[in-house]
Structure 1
Amino acid sequence: MDFKTILVDLGDDAARDARIAAAAVLAEKSAGFVVGLTAMGTQPQPFAGAGAEAGHYAELQARGIKRLAARDADAMHRVLEQTAPGVCSAQMVVEEEIGWALAMHGRAADIMLPAPPSADETSPAPMAKSAEYALLHAGRPMLLMPPHTSLGLDGHALVGWNGRREASRALADALPLLALASRVTILVLVTDSGIDDEGASDLAPWLARHDIGATIRVEECAAVDDALPRIVSEVQPALLVAGGYGHSRLGELIAGGTTRTLLRSCTVPLFMSH
Structure 2
Amino acid sequence: MPIKTILLHMSNDDRHTQRLEVAVGLAKRFSAFVEVLFVATPVSMPPAVTGRAASYAYIAEATAIAHEKAGQIEQEVRSALKDCSYSWTVDEGDHVELLAARAAYADLAIVSQSHGDDLGDRVMLQVPDRLPLTSSCPTLVLPFNFPPRTEIGRHVVVAWKNTREAGRAVRNALPFLTAAEQVTVVTIDPPGHALDGGRDLMIWLERHGVRSRHQASIFQGGDVGEIILDSHRSLGGDLLVMGAYGHSRLREMVLGGATRTVLSSLTTPVLMSH
Using the size of structure 1 for normalisation, the TM-score is 0.79
Query: Would the aligned equivalents of 2:226 and 2:261 in 1 still touch at CA under 8 Å?
Result: no
Change (3 A) 1:221 1:13: farther
- State the partner residue of 1:171: 170
- State the partner residue of 1:225: 225
CA distance in 1, matches of 2:261, 2:74: 31
| Identical aligned residues as a percent | 29
- State the partner residue of 2:247: 247
2:108 aligned with 1:107: no
Change (3 A) 1:33 1:69: same
Could you tell me which amino acid in structure 2 is paired with residue 217 of structure 1? Q
- State the partner residue of 1:208: 206
CA distance in 2, matches of 1:138, 1:154: 22
Shift in Å at residue 270 of structure 1? 0.8
Worse-superposed segment, 139-148 or 6-15: 6-15
CA distance in 2, matches of 1:65, 1:242: 33
Work out the number of aligned pairs and report it: 243
Worse-superposed segment, 224-233 or 206-215: 224-233
Shift in Å at residue 193 of structure 1? 3.0
How far does the alpha carbon of each residue in 1:5-53 deviate from its partner, in whole angstroms, 9 at most, with x for none? Answer: 11111123343222211111111122111121111238xxxxxxxxxxx
Shift in Å at residue 202 of structure 1? 0.9
CA distance in 1, matches of 2:137, 2:272: 9
Q: CA RMSD in A?
A: 2.7
Could you tell me which amino acid in structure 2 is paired with residue 87 of structure 1? C
2:6 aligned with 1:9: no
- State the partner residue of 2:49: none
Change (3 A) 1:268 1:201: same
- State the partner residue of 2:54: none
- State the partner residue of 1:46: none
- State the partner residue of 2:29: 29
Structure 1 residues 8-157: aligned runs within 5 Å: 8-41=8-41, 64=65, 66-78=67-79, 80=80, 85-119=82-116, 129-132=127-130, 134-146=131-143, 147-149=145-147, 150-153=149-152, 155-157=154-156
Q: Which runs of 5+ in 1 are unaligned?
A: 43-59, 250-254
Query: Would the aligned equivalents of 1:100 and 1:130 in 2 still touch at CA under 8 Å?
Result: no
How far does the alpha carbon of each residue in 1:80-139 deviate from its partner, in whole angstroms, 9 at most, with x for none? Answer: 25xxx51122211112221111111111111101121204578xxxx982221x212221
How far does the alpha carbon of each residue in 1:212-253 deviate from its partner, in whole angstroms, 9 at most, with x for none? Answer: 10111111132312211212222231211111111357xxxx
CA distance in 2, matches of 1:141, 1:62: 28
Query: Would the aligned equivalents of 1:7 and 1:113 in 2 still touch at CA under 8 Å?
Result: yes
How far does the alpha carbon of each residue in 1:121-160 deviate from its partner, in whole angstroms, 9 at most, with x for none? Answer: 78xxxx982221x212221100111233345256111000
Query: Would the aligned equivalents of 1:40 and 1:94 in 2 still touch at CA under 8 Å?
Result: yes
Change (3 A) 1:64 1:189: same
Could you tell me which amino acid in structure 1 is paired with residue 133 of structure 2? L
Using the size of structure 2 for normalisation, the TM-score is 0.79
